[in-house]
């Protein structure tokens, strides 16, 4: 088992859930980091930014990069569909299987 891969994929799913709960205004990276650190206390800002960037490249998240260096993120419509289980989840995100109907 690749522990680093599991950590990355779980972090991505938790970021999606955090941003889904922050809709419609999105969330500052500090809030996302605090949620991720509640699950993985040793998570860093760099890790969260890396995974936010990954999710942005997949079209699931939109990031506003402020001149001050702060990031703010929100889900795209594809990200909302993924969070709500109305779209398939490609590999790379540890979304649990839907067990309800």
97 domain-assigned: no
The mean pLDDT value of the chain amounts to 96
| Structural domain that includes position 38 | 3-83
pLDDT digits (tens, 9 = 90+) for 37-69: 999 999 999 999 999 999 999 999 999 999 999
Peptide bond into 24 cis (omega under 30): yes
* Alpha helices (H) in the chain, listed in sequence order: 3-21, 29-39, 45-57, 77-83
Q: Is residue 55 part of a domain?
A: yes
Count up the domains in the chain and report the number: 1
pTM of the model: 0.95
Confirm if 23 and 80 have CB atoms less than 8 A apart.
yes
Q: Report the alpha-carbon distance of residue 32 to residue 68 in Å, rounded.
A: 18
Q: Is position 23 within any domain?
A: yes
Find the helix packing angle between 29-39 and 45-57, rounded to 10°.
110
13 is a domain residue: yes
């Amino acid at each position: 088992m690749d522990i680093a891969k599991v950590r990355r994929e779980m972090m991505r799913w938790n970021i999606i859930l955090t941003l889904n709960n922050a809709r419609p205004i999105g969330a500052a990276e500090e809030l996302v980091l605090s949620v991720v650190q509640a699950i993985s206390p040793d998570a860093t800002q760099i890790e969260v930014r890396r995974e936010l960037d990954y999710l942005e490249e997949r079209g699931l998240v939109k990031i506003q990069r402020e001149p001050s260096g702060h990031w703010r993120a929100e889900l795209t419509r594809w990200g909302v569909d993924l969070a709500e289980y109305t779209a398939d989840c490609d590999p790379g995100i540890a979304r649990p299987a839907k067990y309800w109907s």
